[in-house]
Amino acid sequence: MDETKPKQQLDREFSDLYRAHLRDVYSYSYYRVGNHHDAEDLTEQTFLQAYRHFERAQRESDGRPLRPWLIRIAHNLAANYYRDRARKPQSPLDDSSDFLATMHTTESLVEGREELRSVLEAVNKLSDDRREALIMRFALGMDNREIARSLGRTDGATKVLLHRAIRQLEQIIKEDEAGQK
């Protein structure tokens, strides 16, 4: 009977973690793979893997939030996704406008859709680590410490990575705009 109670406790705590971070894990996965179906699959795989290692993660976290741990799992699964599908041509922005339209129905979004598409295309031109850092910072609202933990970097290295990513993104957008004129 004593073994049942800890398992029930762990299951309750994992359910709380799931409810608290489902949206973040899905959003991260969506920004990485660019379509709903694969993002849902990656989200499911992330939480299945997290469940298997939840008790150990709780022990090793020393009370720190587990969101960076979950995003790191999603990050690794997304990397596997790309490695497995490297030979299949994909266009990750195909359904982004549908996703945005269902999330936001304001006129301002419709007017800004083309600008958003160009920014997302520019983000996809960044190196993996820079793209990851920007997604975590701006799509998920993670702070530098959480990003550092997710990427296995120091806080200082993460700050530099974000700064360089933003500067490179600005440069890519300027070059793309100049090329369209």
Q: Residue 138 belongs to a domain with what CATH number?
A: 1.10.10.10
Is 100 within a domain?
no
Is 96 within a domain?
no
User: How many domains does one find in the chain?
Assistant: 2
| Residue 94: per-residue pLDDT | 44
| Residue 181: per-residue pLDDT | 66
Whether residue 115 sits in one domain with residue 70? no
Whether residue 79 sits in one domain with residue 122? no
Is 35 within a domain?
yes
Which residues of the chain fall below pLDDT 70?
A: 1-5, 85-114, 116, 181
The tens digit of pLDDT for each residue in 120-161 reads 788 888 888 898 898 888 888 889 999 998 888 999 999 999
Cβ pair 72, 152 in contact under 8 A:
yes
The residue among 35, 57, 88 that closes a domain is 88
Please tell me the pTM assigned to this model: 0.66
| Residue 34: per-residue pLDDT | 82
Whether residue 116 sits in one domain with residue 78? no
Residue 65 structural domain? 1-88
